[in-house]
Structures are given as structure tokens and as C-alpha cells.
Amino acid sequence: MKILSSIGATLRGKTPPTAAAITDLIARAETASADANSRLMDLESRRQEMALADDADRRQYREALQTARDDVADSAAAIEALRSKHSAAVAAEAEAGRKSRFDAAKAVAGDLPKLVADYERQARVVRDTIRKIAEIDTALTGANADLPAGANPIPDSSNLRSVPAVGREVLSEKAVDLWCRVGSREPIAAEYQNTVSPGADGLGYSHPSGARHPIAHEKRKFIRRELREATTGMHPTPLGQLNLPAVRAGEPAIFAPLPGASLYSPGAIVEAVEAAVTAEKAPRLKAERPVVVEHVAQ
């Protein structure tokens, strides 16, 4: 069968076919199998007729019948072989994908030690910055609580990090005449204002598609405003809520809020920083690994 020969040539090519390509080859082999079975059934239906044919015709019939049977068997075997190759290709592609992901992960894994060291250094910089902010906030809280005459409160870090609320802002306004449905005080949509034609009776009329009668409108006076709506203020997450975990297991956190302390208190933040620094400086006690004895039956 030419189709099977073509499929075999594809399999023997320099580049092994992908699983998707083998799926297409299976479909072609199944088409060849269906054709072969159809030819065989047609030949089998002529057996009685050919039994009474002359020797030459019977010989030609038997050769065609055997060829059809061979084609049916060959196409079935080809389909099974292709399915096995498809399973192998799927497994090979999956393994290639795993290897590719592993190699890519291994290539970047060497960056981890430096990044971990960078985190430790930069986390301490962040901690020191938080302490300085908290110390300034503490000073501002005291000063703002007892201001000198004529002085305004000094914004602290929370004020600087907050987004203030903004009131409704009218940009412009002018008087306009707009069409409304008769009896309504709501103007029709802006895109339909120009579809209304003034009538002799002082009203306006529109002719919507499909309507049996025109729709009457009347003009009313409005104030047209362009404005920006009000927005609510937004407050930041308190710095005291920050948690900078330790680099290694068993070490104290680089920064963590003190249990029960207010997350909004600058003083509590300073205390938490001092506690973290003190914990870092404390000597590390190595965990003891006592020797034990066990008896294993033999």
C-alpha cells in the first residue's frame, strides 16, 4: 500500500517525528485500513459470482482477494506499531521537557547563595531605615502634641504615605436646553438628542425604527456640569506590621513586631528593632546531640 510506504518513509527520515506528527500518521493508517477493509468486503461479496468464472478470472480474483487481506492485516499491524511509537514519543517528549526544566533550574540555582546574602544585608538596611523613621515619628508626635503659637502640625511618615481624600470638583457648568419625553424630567440620552425634530406645536418628535407612531418630546432647561467625583482617602499598611524573617532556621527574625504592641506606635517599632538587634548579638547555643544506645535484633 502506497500510504503505508509513505508512512514508513516518514518514520525512517533523519528527524524522528513528534508525537503530534505520529498522531497524524495514525489517522492516515486508519484511513488506509478502512479502504482495505472496504475492498475486502467488496471482493468477498463477489465470491459466488467468481466461483463460476473462468480460470484466468478466478486466478485474478484470488490474487486481488489475497492482496486485500494482506492490506487489511498490514494496515492493522501498522496502526499498532504507530501507536507504540506514539507512546514512546510522548514519553520521550515528556522526559525532554523534564530535563529542560531541570537544566534551566540548575542554571539559575547558583544565584541563590548570593541572593540570600543580599537579602540578609538589605533586610538589615530596611530595619535600620524603619528605626530612623520611627525615631523621627516619635519626635514629631511629641512636637505636634504641644505646638508653639501659630505653628501647624508637621506631617509624620503615615501622613506622607497616605493618599488624602479629594472632594467633588466642578470644572465647568452652563445652562442647556435638552429634549425629554413629554411628562419626564430626565433628558433622553445624548446620542438621541439630535434625532428629535422640532414640530409646529412646540414639541419635538422622534421616529424610532419599528415604531408605529412618532414619540413626542419637550425641551427643558438643565445645568450641564463637568466635574470630577470625590475620592476617599487611603491609609498605608503600618511599618510596624512588617516582618523580615531570619535567613537561616533557628536564628531570630531580622525584624518582627513585638507581641501585643501597637503596630501604629513609633515607640513600639523602635523597641522591636532594638529587640531584634539584641537577639542577633546574643551568643548562639549549639543544640546538643546526646549519644544514645540502641539494640538492633539480628
* Residue 209 pLDDT > 90: no
222-261: b (≥16 Cβ within 10 Å) or e? eeeeeeeeeeeeeeeebbbebebebeeeeebbbbbbbeee
Q: Enter the pTM of the model.
A: 0.61
Any idea how long the chain is?
Answer: 298
Instruction: Give the three-class secondary structure for 203.
Output: coil
Whole-number pLDDT of residue 261: 87
Show the DSSP H helices in 146-237 as ranges: 157-161
Note whether 120 and 254 are within 8 A (CB): yes
pLDDT for res 21 = 94
What is the mean predicted confidence (pLDDT) over 263-270? 90
Render pLDDT for 91-142 as a digit per residue (tens, 0 to 9).
999 999 999 999 999 999 999 999 999 999 999 999 999 999 999 999 999 9
The predicted-structure confidence for 22-49, as pLDDT tens digits, reads as follows 999 999 999 999 999 999 999 999 999 9
